[in-house]
A and B are shown apart, each in its own frame.
Chain A
Amino acid sequence: GENVEQHPSTLSVQEGDSAVIKCTYSDSASNYFPWYKQELGKRPQLIIDIRSNVGEKKDQRIAVTLNKTAKHFSLHITETQPEDSAVYFCAAGIDNQFYFGTGTSLTVIP
């Protein structure tokens, strides 16, 4: 099955700085790469996703890049705000299943 690795496990940034979270995957057949944000005790919520026929996607302060050759994808958050503090999960998959990374706990320091 798919193996998704996520780094770093924890990340602290100053408010206004950028944050980058990276994931690698093992199955070259994977074609769907969502990112989820989970606040403490709450459900994971989809914040952005990308499919394998696209190299980059942006939504306001959030962007995701995908390198299919290297089998890695990244989440970029610019102009971070305290409310961006949460755990972020990447996932990689195909069709009826995807596999999650182990999560990155992001803290934005005011």
Chain B
Amino acid sequence: DSGVTQTPKHLITATGQRVTLRCSPRSGDLSVYWYQQSLDQGLQFLIQYYNGEERAKGNILERFSAQQFPDLHSELNLSSLELGDSALYFCASSPSGTVYGYTFGSGTRLTVV
């Protein structure tokens, strides 16, 4: 157990729908990172939050958004879902605004049908 908790573990939804993925960072960690991993693909960085504020943005679609709440948990919102959005979505956390001490959660597998 890495200490980073992601819910739900699995999610099946239809095209056009909206879903919310949740991540609770390891205790004491201030940074949360979101990644998308499609089938047989590498890890694509989406977005980072540090202590409630957006810190870095990667290849995140406009249909996707995220936020980090005062209790430091984060949510990734995916809307107008397409078949191509089916993927594993990982959250990672680190103690500070840096990548040192970085650890991944177990991921949410999203299937869009």
Contact = CB atoms under 8 A, between A and B. Distances in A.
Interface in A63-110: 89, 93, 95-103
Interface stretch (B15-23, B66-74, B98-106): B98-106
B100 A43 contact: no
B97 A100 contact: no
A45 interface: yes
Q: How large is the interface on A (under 10, 10 to 19, 20 to 34, 35 or more residues)?
A: 20 to 34
Contacts, number: 49
Nearest to B55: A96
Given A43-B90, A45-B2, A96-B48, 19 more contacts: A34-B99, A34-B102, A41-B109, A42-B107, A43-B2, A43-B105, A43-B107, A44-B104, A45-B104, A89-B42, A95-B97, A95-B99, A96-B99, A97-B45, A97-B48, A97-B99, A98-B99, A99-B45, A100-B42
Interface of B: 2, 31, 41-43, 45, 48, 50, 55-56, 88, 90, 97-100, 102-107, 109
Interface of A: 32, 34, 36, 41-46, 89, 93, 95-103
